[in-house]
A and B are shown apart, each in its own frame.
Chain A
Amino acid sequence: MDATDQKRLLREMLFARRFEERCAEAYQERQIGGFLHLYPGQEACAIGVLEKARPGHDYVVTGYRDHIHAIKSGVDPKAVMAELFGKETGCSKGRGGSMHIFDPDRHFMGGYALVGGPFPLAAGFGKAIQMRGGDEISICFLGDGANNQGTFHETMNMASLWDLPVLFVCENNLYGIGTAIERATVEINQYKRVAPYRIEAAQCDGQDIDVVMQHAETAVNYVREKRRPYFLELMTYRLRGHSMSDSGAYRSKDEVEQWARRDPIGIYKARLVAAGVLSEADFAAMDQAVQDEIEQEIIPFAEQSPEPAVEDLERYVYVEGGCTAWQN
């Protein structure tokens, strides 16, 4: 990877961090409502994996911590922020919210609130790809907590049985909401849990984007070429709470501090600085540019966009004319 791409990746992670932090502020100012699940600490996972896939071509689905997966899939960050603000210009026209970001034009097939709910959807995308005969793959990002749902086991079984081209990415952040993984799960190594389904699997550091990309490349190539599922477990940590209403009482300050030292942005930045790819001053300038973009372009767009019209409340319940469209 050349220096330009390395700097771009660092900027993407930094953008993700600042975007989410700005969301937290907007939430506190009540510009964003509902539940808000933020991504800081896990940036190398979505960005590293999708860097090795083909966003806009491959289909991506995830849970409710979905902003960054969407943005890395090519969804306009302005449309994501506008969605969080509940605006008509949002990528889901203000009907979805933080947990339901959609952009089928970018093959970003959504964020979903029910833990484990996207597993079968991802397999269904794989089934559709298989029927159409394309070379796309389906990529499903979920957390370790989702693996205790029945859909995990049911879907792994069928994805393997039917040779569905699905890359399951498990972002293991060690907590299912506020319960530590070892208090909820017998086998804490998630990649081992797909062995009975004869799915190829690997586990790696999710904080070092170079490591993530190396494993993602293997995984993506495997799924694309073999047309079989693959399960990649990324060991990661969220530096913020589960959602904005998280008390944090379930984990120690020490633990959080320890993981903060393995911040994916810090790790990558240090590597690039050491290699002479960029200087501390360059990084500061990059950070400023990212924040300026958010403040000057993204937030004003979300703030100034119109809300959906109340007259349109019942629009989209059904597809307009969807019962009879085929007759035309």
Chain B
Amino acid sequence: MAELSYWQAILRAHDEEMARDPLVFAMGEDIGVAGGTYKATTGLYAKYGEKRVMDTPISENSYTGIGVGAAMLGCRPIVEIMSVNFAWLAMDQLMNNAAKIHYMSGGRIRCPLVLRLPGGTAHQLGAQHSARMEKVFMGVPGLRVVTPSSPRDAYGLLKSAVRCDDPVVIIEHEAMYNLKGEVPDDEHFTPLEGSEVVRPGKDLTLFAYNISVHWALAAAERLAKEQGVEAEVVDLRALKPLDRTGIAASVRKTHRAIVVEEDEAAVGVGAEVIAILNEECFFELDAAPVRVHARDVPTPYNRRLEKASIPNADDVVAAARKLLGR
């Protein structure tokens, strides 16, 4: 088992899939000659050439649409949008075409597009480069939305996404590309559906995804040491479809739930998870579930304000103590 960084894991998945299937190609801004803003396509241009590692003009909507069109004819495009914020420009092609074509055509046309989106609050990038957009994508029938929290899953989810016949949105995190972790030496496919218990526990469940998994794990560690509380951490990983069964199973065991999200609360992952708890296992709950989430502001530039705008492990510990009455 090799230790890879998140970006190296993504690069390895690209490389393996491109080597295997000549119809897999990558496109996006600066992904070729420059190797990608987060290095995730480094060296691929030299290896596979400009037809398969395409530097695009800054035209998000149309290059996404070109990916959709190529996917409709059987190609497997991996489209990178440099920052998730720019995906707003690609909404028409993504929402109206990629997500709907299979359904609108009565199942006759498939759109196996992969869209990679570096997102989240990184380092003082300001309001227009620090968005979380999972709430937007997970509300659309026809899309799959996954979000890796580790190099293993960054690798395994991209591998699975390329092979999948549906359009898959992968939300990565700009602050995690240098995160290191173990990745299996053999090919590994992380399922596009289902959640994973990344730390078992019995006293409460911390639901998290992407970067918030790390806050939840840090909080669980402290809760164990400082309070003797055994918190279970569930990496939701697939946001569309959400793992109803796994979400309910954990709470049937712990009877308490906190959803930790980097995103603002409104219409978001936490709202959805809590609705699932209401629907699936309301009477298993010993306390009302809560959300730990970003403040409802455009992400500010100032470092202190930026830090204050998103949650951290301290916030998770505080919420857990309150929930447990300690």
A residues neighboring B (CB under 8 Å): 59, 61, 90-96, 100, 102-104, 109-110, 112-114, 117, 119-132, 150-151, 154-155, 157-158, 161-162, 315-320, 322-323, 325-326
Contact = CB atoms under 8 A, between A and B. Distances in A.
B92 A322 contact: no
Interface of B: 22-23, 25, 51-52, 54, 56-57, 59, 61-75, 92-93, 96-97, 101-110, 112, 141-142, 144, 160, 163-166, 191-193
A96 B101 CA distance: 9
A325 B192 CA distance: 13
19 contacts: A91-B108, A102-B109, A117-B93, A117-B97, A120-B93, A123-B66, A124-B66, A127-B66, A128-B23, A131-B51, A151-B65, A315-B107, A317-B103, A318-B166, A320-B107, A322-B110, A322-B165, A322-B166, A326-B164
Contacts of B160: 323
Contacts of B23: 128, 131-132
B75 A323 contact: no
A-B CB proximity, top 8 nearest: A124-B69, A120-B65, A93-B106, A322-B165, A154-B62, A128-B73, A102-B105, A154-B59
Contacts, number: 169
B187 to A, nearest CB: 12
Contacts of B51: 130-131
A326 B128 CA distance: 38
Contacts of B71: 124
B193 A323 contact: yes
A221 to B, nearest CB: 22
B170 to A, nearest CB: 14
Contacts of B191: 323
Nearest to B193: A323
Contacts of B72: 109, 121, 124-125, 128
Contacts of A110: 101, 104-105, 109
B60 to A, nearest CB: 9
Contacts of B166: 318-319, 322-323
Given A154-B61, A158-B59, A112 B66 contact: no
A150 B52 CA distance: 25
B106 A96 contact: yes
A154 B166 CA distance: 25
Contacts of B109: 102, 104, 109-110
Nearest to B71: A124
Nearest to A326: B163
B142 A317 contact: yes
Contact of A102 (B59, B61, B106): B106
A34 to B, nearest CB: 13
Nearest to B160: A323
Given A121-B72, A323-B192, A150 B61 contact: yes
A164 B94 CA distance: 21
Contact of B142 (A109, A123, A318): A318
Contacts of B70: 124-125, 127-128, 131
B62 A128 contact: no
A50 to B, nearest CB: 19
Contacts of A93: 106-108
Contacts of A122: 69
